[in-house]
Amino acid sequence: MTSLLEKLRAMAREDQILLDEPMSRHTTFRVGGPADVMFLPESPEQAVGAIAAARAAGAPVMVIGNGSNLLVKDGGIRGLVIALGEGMAAVARVENVITAWAGASLARVAAYAQASGLSGLEFASGIPGTLGGGCAMNAGAYGGQLSDVLIDAQVYLDGKVRTLTRDDMQMGYRTTRPLREGGVVLSARFALRPDDPEAIAARMRELNARRRDKQPLNYPSAGSTFKRPEGHYAGALIEAAGLKGRSVHGAQVSEKHAGFIVKPGEATAADIIELIHIVQDEVMARSGVALEPEVRIIGEDQ
């Protein structure tokens, strides 16, 4: 790790490098042990340089956004974690095209589009993730998804920065080529359509009100815990199995929406994972449907 730290210090300020950084500070679940080294890049070039430095040093490397779809285990993460956040949150407009860096929150990009009088990203205004992670998993809500408006993305893949068109991205339901092949989305462009800013804002308010009404936003979580099984809804299957309110220590199947596991108490990552397994087992036993986690579970056990 010494050689990696030397390379990071040569390309960035000391305050961009954090040692033994608790991942609970960087995930919306508010759990997770420490990362050996965390780097906070301030440009796509710094992000790519840090990935290359880690690989040259033989250190494991992982790239995250704001941790909204992550569950980090209690033992933390070995090697380097690159967190794409405020330092990489630039958003710009040229005519009807919005360009954003990976660290920009989807809410920020949607708000920028609304203020610019551009429609097409209203659905993203309440998604609690960053653009990079959102593009990598083709985030969506309320009938919209990023593949609907994506033009192309700058992706670090196979040691090179590549421009991938929407077709090149191979975007499906919560999956893309970068996600499957270990690529990192650095920025993206979206083609939007002109509309009245107040009309756009009204649609955003309506969608966010629906979200607040149906989702347990008052407790830490990672959003929807499970992917939607073909022909079913995860929340309905979980509720039908009588699991609403089921808890393991401070982790609980939400009483408001069974598709969410929340942390109303002092849960550990191990508690949350145990509850995920209980839900999977009991739904399978009752309905014969296998639930696949949408949340990414990473790191090491304590």
| Alpha-carbon radius of gyration of the chain | 19
Question: Which residue shows structure tokens 């986690």?
Answer: 293
227 touches 234 (CB < 8 A) = yes
Hey, what's the torsion of the CAs at 30, 87, 113, 97, to 10 degrees? Answer: -130
Q: What is the DSSP letter of 221?
A: B
Closest CA to 286 of 264, 258, 261: 258
d(CA 293, CA 285): 17
Catalytic: which of 108, 166, 174, 246?
Answer: 174
- Whether 224 is a known active-site residue: answer yes
**Where is 126: in which H helix or E strand?**
none
- Whether 108 is a known active-site residue: answer no
Residues 6+ apart with CB under 8 A from 120: 113, 144, 148, 149, 190, 191, 192, 193
Cα separations in angstroms, 50 against 89, 90, 262: 18, 19, 33
d(CA 101, CA 134): 12
- Whether 95 is a known active-site residue: answer no
Which one-letter amino acid corresponds to residue 213?
D
Hey, what's the torsion of the CAs at 24, 25, 26, 32, to 10 degrees? Answer: -10
d(CA 122, CA 101): 18
d(CA 241, CA 222): 22
Catalytic: which of 255, 274, 282, 294?
Answer: 294
145 DSSP β-pair partners: 140
Catalytic: which of 221, 224, 246, 254?
Answer: 224
Query: Which positions are catalytic?
Result: 174, 224, 294
